[in-house]
Amino acid sequence: MPDYINGQKATPYKGVGKFMPQGRKFAQKIASNSNFPPDGNKLANNLKDALVKAGLKDGMTISSHHHFRNGDLIMNQVFDIAKGLGIKDLRWFPSASFPCHEHLVQYLEDGTIHHIEGSMNGPLGKFASDGKMKGMAVLRSHGGRYQAVQDGEVEIDIAVIVAGTADAFGNANGVDGDSASGLLGFALADSQYAEKVIVVTDNLVPFPCIPWQIQGNNVDFTVKVEKAGIPEKIISGTTKITKSPDRLLLAEMTAQFCDAAGIIKDGFSFQTGAGGTSLAVSKYFGDIMKERNIKARFARGGSNKYLVQMLEDGMIDYILDGQTFDLEGVRSMRENPNHVWTSPFTSYNYHGKGNFAGMVDVVILGATEVDVNFNGNVCTHSDGLLLHGIGGWQNCLFSKTVILPIPLFRNRIPVVVDNVTTIVGPGELIDVIVTERGIAINPLRKDLIEATKNAGLPIKTIQELKAEAEQICGVPEKPIFTDEIIAAIKWVDGTVIDVVRKVKA
């Protein structure tokens, strides 16, 4: 573990619930009404004007959210402007980046951007894996990101918040307008703690913008642009239900296990991740619930059309939504008062007086690897390349039952291994592994073992699953790493649980 990350003292992982923070929450400098127009009109001429007025300079931290996912149009422009102004060594602090941000590789190469601290999906992750980033990448969960800002670990100089609708005062929401993306919860910490906050919209309405998800009282500048984002690109390969027969089998087996374990009952709660297999579990849950006339108290989102349909059919009392995964989710969030907006503060923040995660009866997640100690990896592959972010995955591990439906192997490479390439989540928090060739229950969960022992399910040990995978695929060669650390993986409490090293060419 490194002693310092990008010049900042690092605290190594101490175990679940073992690190106790000291001190007080961070706060930005006091602002005064006298510095703002009395009529509330905070409109800047354009994005460049707003960034200049916000004091953009070398070495600053620029934050953004990913509610548009692969449809973001603004952050590439922000760094185009920074490049044009000759700004260097910026830290980009997104809640996540996507392939649409491949444009920014040139600015990582020329030093406009020094490094990224945020989930990286695709090209930017590959760039970091190749050891080309000038600083060390830092990956955090959604809750970990809020924690880092709240605790002052990351001090945001300029936050850029893109909204479907806003007024000149800065009140904003993501549920209205042609560029509606749904919730703006990932931008909450940015709006509360950043020194300067810029709201960007293509739908400027007269004051007041109602409802507001971002309060104008926290905003410095509002910018009107021609197009804020492409909401259709919220939907991606990871937010569509799978059509693969093997993956559908995994989803069906997962639902059968939950039923046998007594989890699916009146008043239960559940959360399914964004992956195609996890989304399919919602469908099979729905089938069982309809057959038994069972109603869930709430489902945790990311929302999607499957959850929305269950809500509208009266199978769920509430969706507690943290992110919108398709346009039906956006519509429902706008129209249905039982489709409730949440944020990483309420859902996942570990340095607070509780959060929602521990109240969820069962959560369904994915993984790139799991090892015989039930440790999970979602950031790197068995080849060692950093290609994925953490999202809410770590935070969801605190739910009452954590189930990972995963294929036993991908592309002839076993997914169940001796040791994961990168530990992103500790095995003591992962309860069940469901594969197409069997189900492994963590020995710590004696209650689940007892509840399902006569259910007729293919229960096996994790060691048996690993041996079966190796019998089919063989034992692949492990990647060889250099000593160079290219990324740090933060745990939910801000400690470093693992690092990613450069793969030896």
Question: Mind listing the pLDDT tens digit for each residue in 399-458?
Answer: 999 999 999 999 899 999 999 999 999 999 999 999 999 999 999 999 999 999 999 999
Co-location of 217 and 251 in the same domain? no
Q: Give me the residues paired with residue 96 across strands.
A: 119
Domain that holds residue 53: 40-116+154-233
The dihedral over CA atoms of 431, 384, 407, 140, expressed in degrees to the nearest 10, equals 40
**pLDDT confidence bin for 341, thresholds 50/70/90:** very high
Co-location of 282 and 365 in the same domain? yes
**Within a domain: 122:** no
Cβ(44)–Cβ(36) under 8 Å?
no
Per residue in 356-414, pLDDT (tens digit) is 999 999 999 999 999 999 999 999 988 899 989 999 999 999 999 999 999 999 989 99
Co-location of 202 and 300 in the same domain? no
- Please compute the mean of the pLDDT values over residues 143-152 and round it to a whole number: 97
Co-location of 277 and 414 in the same domain? yes
Co-location of 259 and 403 in the same domain? yes
Q: Which residue has the tokens 């027969």?
A: 245
Co-location of 204 and 297 in the same domain? no
Q: How many CB atoms lie within 10 A of CB 20?
A: 8
Helices (H), 348-453: 393-396, 446-452
**Within a domain: 504:** no
Ranges of beta strands (E only) in 177-227 are 196-201, 221-224
Rg (CA), the chain: 22
Quick check: 304 pLDDT over 90?
Answer: no
* Residue 436 DSSP one-character state: T
Quick check: 237 pLDDT over 60?
Answer: no
Domain boundary among 233, 264, 298: 233
Q: How far apart are the first and last CA of the chain?
A: 22
Number of alpha helices (DSSP H) and beta strands (DSSP E) in the chain? 14, 29
Bridge-based pairing state of the strands 113-116 and 496-503: unpaired
Task: Give the H or E element holding residue 147.
Answer: helix 142-150
Quick check: 274 pLDDT over 70?
Answer: no
Mean pLDDT of the chain: 94
